[in-house]
Amino acid sequence: MQANQVIFVVLRFMRRPILVLITVYAVSMVGWILIPGVDEAGEPQRLSFFHAFYFLTYTVTTTGFGELPNTFTEAQRMWGIVSLYAGVIAWFYALGSIVGLVQNREFQRSVAERSFAKRIARVSEPYFIVCGFGNTGALLTRGLSEAGKTVVIIDRNPERISTAMMRDYPSEVMGLCADARVPEHLIEAGILKANCKAVVALTQDEEVNLKIAVTARLLNAGIWAVTQSTSAAHEDTLSTLGANVHIVDPFQTYAKYLGATIKNPKIHTLNQWLAGTPEASLDDTLSLPRGEWILCGFGRMGRWIRDALEAESIATTVIEPDPGPEAKRLENLVEGRASQETLIKAGAKTAVGVVAGTNNDSDNLSILLNARALNSDIFFVVRQNKYRNQVVFRAGKADLIMMPSMVSARRILFLLIAPLLKTFFETLRERDAAEADYIDTVIARLQERVGGTRPRLWTVEIDQHSAAAVAKLSRAGHDVSLAHLISDPVDPGRQLACLPLVLRRGADQSTTVLPKLDSAVASGDQILFCGRPRAYRLLEATMNNEYALIYIMTGQEVTRSVVLRWLAQRFPRLETAGG
Amino acid sequence: MNLERVIFGFFIVLAVALNFGFFVGEIDNPDHHGIVELFLAIVVNLIATVLKLGDRSQIGAVLLATSLVADLQLLAAAVIWAIAAHVDSAGLTPAVMASIVSLAGGALVANIISVTILVAETLMLRR
| ipTM over cut 0.90 | no
Contact B53 A22 (CB under 8 A): no
The pLDDT, as a whole number, for residue A4 is 58
Q: A8 to chain B nearest CA, in Å? A: 6
Residues of chain A contacting B33 with CB distance shorter than 8 Å: none
Residue that wins the pLDDT comparison between A200 and A552: A200
Please say whether the beta carbons of A153 and A133 come within 8 A: yes
Measured between alpha carbons, how far is A165 from A117 in angstroms, rounded to an integer?
16
Give whole-number Cα distances, A403 to A236, A250, A255, A361, in Å: 25, 9, 12, 11
Nearest Cα neighbor of B37 from A407, A30, A381 is A30
SS3 assignment, position A459: strand
Confidence of residue A3 (pLDDT cuts 50, 70, 90): very low
B→A contacts (Cβ < 8 Å), by residue, are 35-36, 39, 43, 46-47, 50-51, 53-54, 56, 78, 81-82, 85-86
pLDDT tier at B126, thresholds 50, 70, 90 = low
Q: Is A418 left (phi over 0), alpha (psi -120 to 50) or beta?
A: beta
Q: Is the pLDDT of residue B127 over 60?
A: no
Answer for the pair B41, B75: CB distance below 8 angstroms, yes or no.
Answer: no
State residue B16's pLDDT score. Answer: 94
How are beta strands A173-177 and A245-248 bridged, if at all?
Answer: unpaired
- The mean pLDDT value of chain A amounts to 85
pLDDT tens-digit readout, A274-290:
888 887 888 878 878 88
Q: Do B54 and A29 lie within an 8 Å CB cutoff?
A: no
Mean pLDDT of A162-181: 88
Other beta carbons less than 10 A from residue A287's beta carbon: 11
Question: Hey, are the CB atoms on B50 and A49 less than 8 Å from each other?
Answer: no
**Structure confidence by residue, pLDDT tens digits, A523-549:** 888 899 998 888 888 888 888 888 888
Does A19 touch chain B if contact means CB atoms closer than 8 Å?
Answer: yes
CA dist A26 and B15 (Å) reads: 14
Q: Which of A185-199, A465-479, B11-25 has the lowest mean pLDDT?
A: A465-479
Nearest Cβ partner for A11 among B43, B46, B54? B54
- How many whole angstroms separate alpha carbon A482 and alpha carbon A444? 20
B102 C-beta neighbours (distance < 10 Å), count: 15
CB B57 within 8 A of CB B24: no
DSSP string, A302-347: HHHHHHHHHHTT--EEEEESS--HHHHT-SSEEES---HHHHHHTT
Query: Do A136 and A405 contact (CB within 8 A), yes or no?
Result: yes
Residue A285 · residue A345 · CB < 8 Å? no
Average pLDDT estimate for A402-411:
90
Q: How far apart are CA A34 and CA B94, in angstroms?
A: 26
Phi/psi for A130 (5° steps) reads: -110, 120
Report d(CA A442, CA A445) in Å as an integer: 5
Residue A5's pLDDT band (cuts 50, 70, 90) = low
Question: How does the average pLDDT of chain B come out, rounded?
Answer: 89
Q: Which of B38, B50, B56 to mutate to test the interface with A (most CBs of A within 10 A)?
A: B50
CB contact under 8 A, A15 and B50: yes
Determine, for residues A15 and B53 on separate chains, whether the beta-carbon distance falls below 8 Å: yes
Element (H, E) at A425: helix A421-434
CA B50 to chain A, closest CA, distance in angstroms equals 6
Q: Which helix (H) or strand (E) holds A567?
A: helix A562-570
Q: What gap in Å lies between CA A549 and CA A470, rounded to an integer? A: 8
Amino acid identity, residue A398? Answer: A
List phi, psi (to 5°) of A117: -60, -40
**Side-chain half-sphere CA neighbours of A188 within 13 A:** 25
Q: Determine the angle formed by the axes of helices A421-434 and A266-274, rounding to 10 degrees.
A: 160
Query: A157: Cβ–Cβ under 8 A, 6 or more apart, which residues?
Result: A133, A177
Residue A154 in 3-state DSSP? Answer: strand
In order, the DSSP letters of B32-101 are: GS-HHHHHHHHHHHHHHHHHHTT--SHHHHHHHHHHHHHHHHHHHHHHHHHIIIII-TT-S-HHHHHHHH
Beta bridge partners of A498: A531
| Spatial CA neighbour of A412 closest among A23, A100, A139 | A139
Instruction: Give Cα separations from A25 to A373, A519, B104 (angstroms).
Output: 89, 83, 21
Question: Is the sign of the CA dihedral B87, B90, B93, B98 positive or negative?
Answer: negative
Judged by DSSP in three states, A513 sits in strand
Cα distance from N-terminal residue to C-terminal residue, chain A: 63
Query: pLDDT tens for residues A326-339?
Result: 878 887 888 888 88
Longest dimension (CA), chain A: 121
Inform me whether the pLDDT recorded for B113 exceeds 90: yes
CB of A449 within 8 A of CB of A441? Answer: no
| Chosen from B56, B68, B71, B83 to mutate, greatest number of chain A CBs within 10 A | B56
Closest by CA to A486, choosing from A458, A444, A453, A524, is A458
- Tell me if A19 and B47 make a contact (CB, 8 A cut-off): yes
Residue A440, H or E segment: helix A438-449
Compare B43 and A541 and report the one with higher pLDDT: B43
Q: Provide the 3-class DSSP secondary structure of residue A86.
A: helix
Q: Tell me how far apart the alpha carbons of residues B70 and B49 are, in angstroms, rounded to a whole number.
A: 9
Q: What single string gives the DSSP state of each residue in A348-402?
A: TTT-SEEEE--S-HHHHHHHHHHHHHH-TT-EEEEE---GGGHHHHHHHT-SEEE
With a threshold of 0.90, does the pTM exceed it? Answer: no
User: Is residue A68 within 8 angstroms of chain B, CB to CB?
Assistant: no
